[in-house]
Copies of this chain bind each other. A is one copy, B any other.
Amino acid sequence: MSMTYSIDDTIVALATAQGLSAIAVIRLSGRDCIAVTQKVFRGKQLEAQPTHTLHFGILHDGERAIDEVLVSLFKEPNSFTKENAVEISCHGSPVIVKEIIKALLKNGARLAEPGEFTKRAFLNGRFDLAQAEAVADLINAETDNARQAALNQMRGGFSKEIQHLREELIHFASLIELELDFGEEDVEFAQRDDLRQLIVKIKGYLQALIQSFDQGNVIKNGVPTVIAGKPNAGKSTLLNTLLNEEKAIVSEIAGTTRDVIEDEMELGGVVFRFIDTAGLRETTDTIEALGVERTRDRMKKAALILYLFDLGVTTPEEIKAEEEHLISLGIPYLKVGNKLDKIDAVRTRQLENDGFILISASQKKGIEELKAKILALFNVNAVKQGDVLVTNLRHYQNLIQTNQSLQRVLDGMDQNVTGDFLAMDIRQSLHYLGEITGQITTDDLLDNIFSKFCIGK
C-alpha cells in the first residue's frame, strides 16, 4: 500500500457497518469535500453553512434522486481529520450506499484506504501516533476493560507518560551534548553521579510501563487457553459447560452476541479464548497424528493450559509423566481432574493436596472453583479512568529497546567511556521513544499501522 497524502484528495468511505439497517453513514474528508458533496446534493448551499450543522436534502446522481439524506458539515480545523469533512446519513441499504458512493466517485472523490481518516488526523496533528492506534483498539475492544484502556490511551494518558520520559531524556542528552561541544577542553558539565541517578530514575518509569504490559496485553488481547488431555478426558464437554454458562451474560442486550466468536468467554473483565484440541495420544493414524501435532503446537503458544485427566482411568504414574511434560513447556497450567464421581474420598483428598482442581464437566460440578483458579492466574483489576497501561506490542517492544539503550549508557558510565559514546545511546533511546508517539516515523511504519484499521476510520 502506498498512501501519498494530498489535501487535494477528497476521500470517501462507508463509516458504519455493512448490512441492512435504519441508517448508514458515508464519510468524506479533504479540502474540497464540501464542494464535491454539493455536486450531488440538492438542498441548501453547504459552503455557506456554519460548521457542525445538519442539512436535509436529496442525494442525486445526475438527474436521478438516490435518497433523502442528512448531511453533517464539519469545517476545518473543526473535524476529526482537521480538514473539511462531511458525513452523509442515508437509509441503511447496501444498494443506496453503493449508489451514493458511486455518485461521489464520479464527482471527484476517491475511495479511502483503510485507516486513512485517522492517518490524516495524525498527520494534521489532531493526536500523536499512540493515540491514533488507540482509536483502532477502541473499536476492537471486546470487554469493557479493553474499552477503558483504549479510551485512556486515546485521550492521551499514555502519550503524556512517554512525553514526560522524553523530556527527562532530552534534559539528560542536552547536558551530554554540551559536554561534547567543549570536548577538546575535557570539561564535564554533567556530573556523572547526577547523570547516573537521572538514568536510574528514568529506567524506573520505563520498568513500570514495561511491566504493565503483562496486564495490558491480557486486557487487550485476551488469554489463549488450550484445553488439552488424553482422548475422552472430557475436553469438549468442559468447553461447552464453560461457554454455555457464560453465554447468557454476553447477550444482556439483544444483538450483541452476533459479533462474539463462538469459543470465547469473558471472566472478570478478561476474554478467555478457549481452544479445544485433539486428544493427546501416540497414534499410527496419519490424520490423527496431525491433530495431535497441532495440539502440541497450540499448547506451546497458549498463555494457559487447562490439562484434563480422566480420574476414572488415569494411573498415578500416567499423571506424573504427563505433568512432567507440562512443566517442560514452561506455560502456566492447571491440572483438572474430571469425572470426580469415579474416585473415593481418600483419593480426592490426595489429589486436592497435589494441586488438582476436581470437577465433573458433565454434571457441572466444580466449575465455579475452576473459574476462580483461572481468574487468580490472570488477576486483572478493573481499568479506571486515567490508568496508564501498555497494551500495544509495538509500544512494548520500543519501551524495551529504550530501556536497553539506557542500560548501555549506564554500562558505558561504569566503563568511563567518553561523552560521545554516551550521547549515541541516549539518541538511540530517544529514537525508540519517539517512534511510539510518532515524532519519528517512516512511511513503512505508518502504512503498517493504518492498513490494519477498518475502512472508513
* Copies held by the complex: 2
Residues of chain B with a CB closer than 8 A to A259's CB: 18-20, 94
Partner of A142, one of B72, B87, B95, B455: B95
Are B19 and A456 in contact, CB atoms less than 8 angstroms apart? no
A255 in complex: contacting residue of B14, B95, B140, B255, CB < 8 Å: B14
Does A171 sit within 8 A of B, measured CB to CB?
no
- Are A95 and B456 closer than 8 Å at their CB atoms? no
Docked-complex contact A17 and B15, CB < 8 angstroms: no
- Report Cα–Cα, A22/B66, bound state, in Å: 24
- Of all chain B residues, which has the CB nearest A63? B385
Flag if B18 contacts A141 (CB, 8 Å). Answer: no
Number of interface residues of A (CB under 8 A): 65
- Inter-subunit contact B25/A17 (CB<8 Å): no
- Least Cβ distance of A397 to chain B in Å? 25
Q: Which residues of A83-102 are within 8 A (CB) of B?
A: 87, 89, 91-99, 101-102
Q: List 20 A-B contacts (CB under 8 A).
A: A16-B17, A18-B256, A18-B258, A21-B454, A23-B25, A23-B456, A52-B53, A54-B54, A64-B385, A65-B385, A68-B155, A72-B72, A92-B139, A93-B138, A94-B259, A95-B141, A95-B143, A96-B138, A96-B147, A255-B455
Given contacts A93-B138, A96-B147, A102-B252, 15 further A-B contacts (CB under 8 A): A15-B21, A17-B19, A17-B21, A17-B24, A21-B139, A23-B457, A52-B53, A53-B53, A68-B151, A87-B89, A92-B454, A95-B141, A95-B142, A99-B144, A99-B147
The 9 closest A-B pairs by CB, nearest first: A17-B19, A22-B457, A22-B456, A16-B16, A17-B17, A17-B21, A52-B54, A15-B22, A15-B23
- A: residues with CB less than 8 A from B are 13-25, 27, 52-55, 63-68, 72, 74, 87, 89, 91-99, 101-102, 117, 135, 138-144, 146-148, 151, 154-155, 252-253, 255-256, 258-259, 385, 454-457
